[in-house]
Amino acid sequence: MLRKLTYIILISLIAILVQVLFVPWMTIREIRPDFILLVVLFIARTEGRMVGQVYGFIIGMLADALGMGSFMGLSALIKTAVGFFSGCMKNQRNRLYPFYYQAIYVLIILFSYVILYLVNYKGTDFSFYFIMVRFALPSTLYTLVFYGLLDYFISSGKS
């Protein structure tokens, strides 16, 4: 248990450092990947819903406190929901068709960005369609590139 907790803390610190130090250089026209979201996805899918929710809330509040979020508590809300939905996928990899399994993760990531950008741009003249096409979908695709790489290397390491 202590070893697993140490591992989670170490991975979290690495994700926060990557998010703070490298993501500003990886930003393309305000579109950036969210490595903390990816860590929440992977921890929740291995540990389950409850751990995913608690971890998502804690890391989300930490991200907001460090100034990585826009509104205090928004990252915590999003990461908690992502932790729950991803935790529901625990032990489902071999039960579902690979396409459906990965499609669910695409929808989870898209859901997180839709909520983020709808809240961030509430009160502006941007339409839902514009927010989806300009912000949510590109951010989802950018994050999915790293999700695919991590999933490939993590999955191939287990077999």
Encode pLDDT of 85-116 as tens digits: 999 999 898 899 999 999 999 999 999 999 99
Expressed as residue numbers, the domain containing 84 is 2-24+32-158
The domain total for the chain is 1
107: domain CATH number is 1.10.1760.20
Tell me the β-bridge partners of 28. Answer: 31
Strands of 87-148 (E only): list them.
none
Tell me: the pLDDT tens digits for 71-88?
899 999 999 999 999 999
User: How far apart are alpha carbons 29 and 51 in whole angstroms?
Assistant: 34
What pLDDT score does 87 carry?
A: 96
Q: Does pTM top 0.85 for this prediction?
A: yes
Cβ neighbours of 157 (radius 10 Å): 7
